[in-house]
Amino acid sequence: MMRGHEYRKQREKAGLTQKQLAERLGVHPMTISKRERDAMTITREAQIALRQVADESRELACQVVG
């Protein structure tokens, strides 16, 4: 199971704020905060969604740079 600090690192690596990630996932920013503080369980579905959004964000950044 993914821990909060790992979730935060994935988000930061993608260059996203908590608010930006929440908007892309369709959740409240407090949900992201709770996941990162281990105050809420990070489900498998939440992990997959984070990775998908992070991958998309990195791809966009590469296109802008490249």
Residue-level pLDDT at 64: 67
* CATH (domain of 45): 1.10.260.40
Per-residue pLDDT reduced to its tens digit, 9-42:
999 999 999 999 999 999 999 999 999 999 999 9
CB neighbours of residue 8 within 10 Å: 16
The total number of structural domains in the chain stands at 1
| pTM score, whole prediction | 0.87
- Give the pLDDT band of residue 58 (cuts 50, 70, 90): confident
DSSP 47: H
Q: State which residues form the domain around 27.
A: 4-65
User: Mean pLDDT across the stretch 36-63?
Assistant: 92
